[in-house]
Amino acid sequence: MMGTRSRLTAPEWDAFSRYSRHLLRWAPGELRKIKRKFWRRVRVRQRAEMRAEMKGVGA
């Protein structure tokens, strides 16, 4: 799963960046919410790619 963090929004960039995590103040649970939302979007996109690939193989 190389290169999955290519399309980050601004809050996601701040949540994943070690440098900005120490600069910004986060509310309790805010980082977890941002990261869960991001990884869910990644899983949905990968699932769609896999289904499209399998559809091409089965045809």
pLDDT at 21: 84
Positions in the chain short of pLDDT 50: 1
Report how far residue 24's alpha carbon sits from residue 49's, in angstroms, rounded to the nearest whole number: 35
Task: Spell out the domain ranges in the chain.
Answer: 28-59
DSSP H helices in 1-59: 10-16, 18-23, 30-58
Q: What is the pTM of this model?
A: 0.75
pLDDT of residue 2: 55
